[in-house]
Amino acid sequence: MPPLLQSGAAAPAFALADTHGATVTLAELRGKPVVLAFYPADWSPVCGDQMALYNEVLPVFQNLGAEMLGVSVDSRWCHAAFAENRRLRFRLLADFEPKGALARRYGAYREQDGTSERALFVIDAAGVIRWSYLSPIDVNPGADGILEILGRTEFSRRWNLCKRTRHERQSQRIEAGGRTE
């Protein structure tokens, strides 16, 4: 397996199903920070606690402009049941078939047991990994590292600049009689 992707690397593109069967792509998320949380499996105690924590701090992630996504090799149906049971308010993506293909590209696949590592990535608005972390498989990595990178002045400034530029483009289209949809 390749090593875990590090800060400065281009984030590998993806197109994965969420719990509703909708395809989520990295390209559609361009323009805002993305938090990718790879985890071994739905229903395991550590994974459940980790996803519950991210659910609790989700408003903070959102206030910092970030999209939170959980990723494991479980199917979308398994994710749907898990998300409903845990009342998760962020999307879970199924890296199901081919099994672990996205986790492999990020260097976050466990060949020995066929699951994802417990790995975190913060991807900036331009699609570049700005932070990554590989946690021991039986340890909840928490949210401190994610919050630290999202809260950094430089990262926040880039996000706000991107947001402002997008707003300016929308304003220009409105002035020109164009639609913003």
What are the residue numbers of the active site?
47
136: CB partners within 8 A, 6+ apart: 118
Token couple for 35: 């938090």
Concatenated DSSP letters of 118-153? EEEEEE-TTSBEEEEEEE-TTS---SHHHHHHHHSH
Q: Which amino acid type is present at position 111?
A: E
Sign of torsion over alpha carbons 166, 168, 172, 178: positive
Question: H-type helices in 72-152, by residue range?
Answer: 76-86, 101-105, 144-151
